[in-house]
Protein backbone atom coordinates (compact mmCIF):
# COMPACT_ATOMS: atom_id res chain seq x y z
CA UNK A 1 0.00 0.00 0.00
CA UNK A 2 1.46 3.33 -1.09
CA UNK A 3 -0.98 5.68 0.57
CA UNK A 4 -3.92 5.66 3.00
CA UNK A 5 -6.55 8.42 3.14
CA UNK A 6 -9.53 8.85 5.40
CA UNK A 7 -12.45 11.25 5.16
CA UNK A 8 -15.62 11.94 7.16
CA UNK A 9 -18.58 12.06 4.75
CA UNK A 10 -21.24 12.93 7.31
CA UNK A 11 -22.98 11.58 10.39
CA UNK A 12 -22.08 7.93 10.80
CA UNK A 13 -20.45 7.68 7.36
CA UNK A 14 -16.73 7.69 6.56
CA UNK A 15 -14.54 6.67 3.65
CA UNK A 16 -11.17 4.91 3.71
CA UNK A 17 -9.09 4.93 0.51
CA UNK A 18 -6.09 2.65 0.05
CA UNK A 19 -3.79 3.38 -2.89
CA UNK A 20 -1.80 0.37 -4.03
CA UNK A 21 1.61 0.32 -5.66
CA UNK A 22 0.14 -1.74 -8.51
CA UNK A 23 -2.78 -4.04 -9.40
CA UNK A 24 -3.95 -6.08 -6.41
CA UNK A 25 -6.58 -8.55 -5.22
CA UNK A 26 -8.43 -8.51 -1.91
CA UNK A 27 -8.14 -12.08 -0.62
CA UNK A 28 -10.07 -11.46 2.58
CA UNK A 29 -11.88 -8.53 4.17
CA UNK A 30 -13.16 -8.82 7.74
CA UNK A 31 -15.09 -6.32 9.86
CA UNK A 32 -14.38 -7.31 13.47
CA UNK A 33 -15.84 -6.05 16.72
CA UNK A 34 -13.24 -4.88 19.24
CA UNK A 35 -13.00 -7.05 22.34
CA UNK A 36 -13.55 -4.08 24.66
CA UNK A 37 -16.73 -3.13 22.79
CA UNK A 38 -15.35 0.28 21.80
CA UNK A 39 -16.02 -0.13 18.09
CA UNK A 40 -14.94 -2.10 15.06
CA UNK A 41 -11.78 -2.67 13.05
CA UNK A 42 -11.17 -3.70 9.46
CA UNK A 43 -8.70 -6.46 8.55
CA UNK A 44 -7.75 -6.71 4.87
CA UNK A 45 -5.54 -9.37 3.26
CA UNK A 46 -4.23 -8.19 -0.12
CA UNK A 47 -1.98 -9.75 -2.75
CA UNK A 48 -0.51 -8.72 -6.08
CA UNK A 49 -2.70 -9.41 -9.12
CA UNK A 50 -2.54 -9.02 -12.87
CA UNK A 51 -3.97 -5.99 -14.62
CA UNK A 52 -6.66 -8.20 -16.18
CA UNK A 53 -7.76 -9.54 -12.78
CA UNK A 54 -7.84 -6.04 -11.32
CA UNK A 55 -9.85 -4.62 -14.22
CA UNK A 56 -12.32 -7.50 -14.00
CA UNK A 57 -12.87 -6.82 -10.31
CA UNK A 58 -13.59 -3.16 -11.00
CA UNK A 59 -16.00 -4.05 -13.78
CA UNK A 60 -17.91 -6.40 -11.51
CA UNK A 61 -17.91 -3.97 -8.57
CA UNK A 62 -16.76 -6.84 -6.39
CA UNK A 63 -13.74 -8.39 -4.70
CA UNK A 64 -11.57 -10.56 -6.93
CA UNK A 65 -11.29 -13.69 -4.78
CA UNK A 66 -11.60 -15.06 -1.28
CA UNK A 67 -14.24 -14.99 1.42
CA UNK A 68 -15.68 -12.16 3.42
CA UNK A 69 -16.71 -12.33 7.07
CA UNK A 70 -18.60 -9.53 8.79
CA UNK A 71 -19.75 -8.74 12.30
CA UNK A 72 -23.18 -9.73 13.58
CA UNK A 73 -24.43 -6.21 12.84
CA UNK A 74 -23.59 -6.21 9.15
CA UNK A 75 -24.08 -8.22 6.00
CA UNK A 76 -21.54 -9.34 3.45
CA UNK A 77 -18.87 -6.73 2.83
CA UNK A 78 -17.62 -5.80 -0.61
CA UNK A 79 -20.25 -7.52 -2.73
CA UNK A 80 -22.11 -5.86 -5.59
CA UNK A 81 -25.70 -4.60 -5.40
CA UNK A 82 -28.46 -7.16 -4.95
CA UNK A 83 -31.18 -7.13 -7.58
CA UNK A 84 -34.63 -6.25 -6.23
CA UNK A 85 -37.36 -6.49 -8.87
CA UNK A 86 -39.79 -4.45 -6.73
CA UNK A 87 -37.40 -1.58 -6.11
CA UNK A 88 -38.03 1.71 -7.92
CA UNK A 89 -34.78 3.33 -8.99
CA UNK A 90 -34.29 6.67 -7.24
CA UNK A 91 -32.44 9.48 -9.02
CA UNK A 92 -31.40 12.75 -7.36
CA UNK A 93 -30.43 15.53 -9.78
CA UNK A 94 -28.10 18.21 -8.44
CA UNK A 95 -28.09 21.53 -10.36
CA UNK A 96 -24.60 22.93 -9.77
CA UNK A 97 -23.99 26.23 -7.97
CA UNK A 98 -26.85 28.54 -6.98
CA UNK A 99 -27.50 31.67 -4.93
CA UNK A 100 -24.35 33.65 -4.19
CA UNK A 101 -22.32 31.03 -6.10
CA UNK A 102 -23.10 31.79 -9.75
CA UNK A 103 -20.51 29.48 -11.25
CA UNK A 104 -19.11 30.17 -14.70
CA UNK A 105 -20.28 33.13 -16.79
CA UNK A 106 -20.56 33.10 -20.58
CA UNK A 107 -19.46 35.81 -22.98
CA UNK A 108 -23.04 37.07 -23.26
CA UNK A 109 -23.64 37.10 -19.51
CA UNK A 110 -25.22 33.65 -19.19
CA UNK A 111 -24.69 32.38 -15.64
CA UNK A 112 -23.96 28.71 -14.98
CA UNK A 113 -26.32 28.40 -12.00
CA UNK A 114 -29.29 29.28 -14.25
CA UNK A 115 -28.22 26.90 -17.01
CA UNK A 116 -27.81 23.98 -14.62
CA UNK A 117 -31.19 24.61 -12.97
CA UNK A 118 -33.02 24.79 -16.31
CA UNK A 119 -31.29 21.65 -17.59
CA UNK A 120 -31.91 19.74 -14.36
CA UNK A 121 -35.60 20.70 -14.33
CA UNK A 122 -36.05 19.45 -17.90
CA UNK A 123 -34.15 16.25 -17.11
CA UNK A 124 -36.36 15.63 -14.08
CA UNK A 125 -39.53 16.00 -16.14
CA UNK A 126 -38.28 13.62 -18.83
CA UNK A 127 -37.17 10.97 -16.35
CA UNK A 128 -40.42 11.24 -14.40
CA UNK A 129 -42.39 10.83 -17.63
CA UNK A 130 -40.79 7.42 -18.16
CA UNK A 131 -42.70 6.22 -15.11
CA UNK A 132 -39.96 3.92 -13.81
CA UNK A 133 -38.04 6.31 -11.58
CA UNK A 134 -38.52 8.39 -8.45
CA UNK A 135 -36.80 11.68 -9.29
CA UNK A 136 -35.79 14.47 -6.89
CA UNK A 137 -33.67 17.62 -7.09
CA UNK A 138 -31.29 19.11 -4.55
CA UNK A 139 -32.59 22.59 -5.36
CA UNK A 140 -35.54 23.91 -7.37
CA UNK A 141 -34.83 27.62 -6.91
CA UNK A 142 -31.84 29.96 -7.02
CA UNK A 143 -30.41 28.99 -3.64
CA UNK A 144 -26.92 28.24 -2.36
CA UNK A 145 -26.17 24.74 -1.08
CA UNK A 146 -22.96 23.54 0.50
CA UNK A 147 -21.33 20.59 -1.20
CA UNK A 148 -21.99 18.36 1.80
CA UNK A 149 -25.65 19.47 1.85
CA UNK A 150 -26.05 18.14 -1.69
CA UNK A 151 -24.73 14.75 -0.61
CA UNK A 152 -26.95 14.78 2.48
CA UNK A 153 -30.07 15.43 0.39
CA UNK A 154 -29.22 12.51 -1.89
CA UNK A 155 -28.80 10.23 1.11
CA UNK A 156 -32.08 11.38 2.63
CA UNK A 157 -33.84 10.21 -0.52
CA UNK A 158 -31.76 6.99 -0.51
CA UNK A 159 -30.65 7.78 -4.05
CA UNK A 160 -29.44 4.99 -6.30
CA UNK A 161 -27.86 7.63 -8.54
CA UNK A 162 -26.79 11.24 -7.91
CA UNK A 163 -26.31 13.31 -11.07
CA UNK A 164 -24.52 16.63 -10.55
CA UNK A 165 -25.07 19.02 -13.46
CA UNK A 166 -22.50 21.68 -14.40
CA UNK A 167 -21.87 23.90 -17.41
CA UNK A 168 -18.13 24.36 -17.19
CA UNK A 169 -15.89 26.94 -18.78
CA UNK A 170 -12.36 26.07 -19.84
CA UNK A 171 -9.60 28.17 -21.37
CA UNK A 172 -9.12 26.06 -24.47
CA UNK A 173 -10.79 27.54 -27.55
CA UNK A 174 -12.80 25.15 -29.67
CA UNK A 175 -13.01 22.46 -26.99
CA UNK A 176 -16.43 20.77 -26.84
CA UNK A 177 -17.89 17.78 -25.01
CA UNK A 178 -18.55 16.54 -21.49
CA UNK A 179 -16.42 16.52 -18.35
CA UNK A 180 -16.55 13.53 -16.00
CA UNK A 181 -15.42 13.76 -12.37
CA UNK A 182 -13.67 10.80 -10.72
CA UNK A 183 -11.70 10.38 -7.50
CA UNK A 184 -7.99 10.67 -8.24
CA UNK A 185 -4.84 11.94 -6.58
CA UNK A 186 -3.63 13.45 -9.86
CA UNK A 187 -5.49 15.22 -12.65
CA UNK A 188 -5.17 13.95 -16.21
CA UNK A 189 -3.98 17.38 -17.41
CA UNK A 190 -3.59 20.98 -16.14
CA UNK A 191 -6.99 22.05 -17.52
CA UNK A 192 -8.75 19.25 -15.62
CA UNK A 193 -6.88 20.18 -12.44
CA UNK A 194 -7.91 23.83 -12.70
CA UNK A 195 -11.52 22.87 -13.37
CA UNK A 196 -11.70 20.49 -10.41
CA UNK A 197 -10.09 23.08 -8.12
CA UNK A 198 -12.73 25.67 -9.04
CA UNK A 199 -15.62 23.29 -8.39
CA UNK A 200 -14.21 22.07 -5.07
CA UNK A 201 -13.85 25.65 -3.82
CA UNK A 202 -17.55 26.49 -4.21
CA UNK A 203 -18.09 26.61 -0.45
CA UNK A 204 -15.14 28.97 0.05
CA UNK A 205 -16.42 31.31 -2.67
CA UNK A 206 -19.62 31.66 -0.64
CA UNK A 207 -17.73 32.40 2.57
CA UNK A 208 -18.39 29.02 4.19
CA UNK A 209 -15.92 27.48 6.62
CA UNK A 210 -14.12 24.42 5.26
CA UNK A 211 -13.35 21.72 7.82
CA UNK A 212 -9.90 20.14 7.72
CA UNK A 213 -11.39 16.64 7.89
CA UNK A 214 -13.83 17.24 5.03
CA UNK A 215 -11.36 17.23 2.14
CA UNK A 216 -13.00 14.23 0.44
Q: Give percent of the chain above pLDDT 70.
A: 68
pLDDT band at 129 (very low <50, low <70, confident <90, very high): very high
State the architecture of 89-214 in CATH terms: 3-Layer(aba) Sandwich (3.40)
Show me where the domains of the chain are located.
Answer: 3-69, 89-214
Note if the pTM is more than 0.85: no
Question: What confidence tens digit (pLDDT) does each residue in 54-105 have?
Answer: 777 766 644 333 333 333 433 333 434 445 566 789 999 999 999 888 888 8
pLDDT digit string, tens, across residues 24-58: 888 888 888 888 888 888 888 888 888 888 777 76
- Encode the chain in three state secondary structure: CCEEEEEEEECCEEEEEEECCCCEEEEEEEEEECCCCCCEEEEEEEEECCHHHHHHHHHHCCCCCCEEECCCCCCCCCCCCCCCCCCCEEEEEEECCECCECCCECCCCCEHHHHHHHHHHHHHHHHHHHCCEEEEECCCCCCCCCHHHHHHHHHHCCCCEEEEECCCCCCCCCCCCCCCCCCCCCCCCHHHHHHHHHHHCHHHHCCCCCCHHHCC
Amino acid sequence: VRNVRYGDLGEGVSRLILTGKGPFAVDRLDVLKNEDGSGYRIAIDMSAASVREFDAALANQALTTGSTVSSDKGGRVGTGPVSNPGHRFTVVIDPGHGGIDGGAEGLNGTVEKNVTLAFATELRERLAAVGKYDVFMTRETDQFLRLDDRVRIARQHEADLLISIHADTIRVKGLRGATVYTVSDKASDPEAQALADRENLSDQFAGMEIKDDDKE
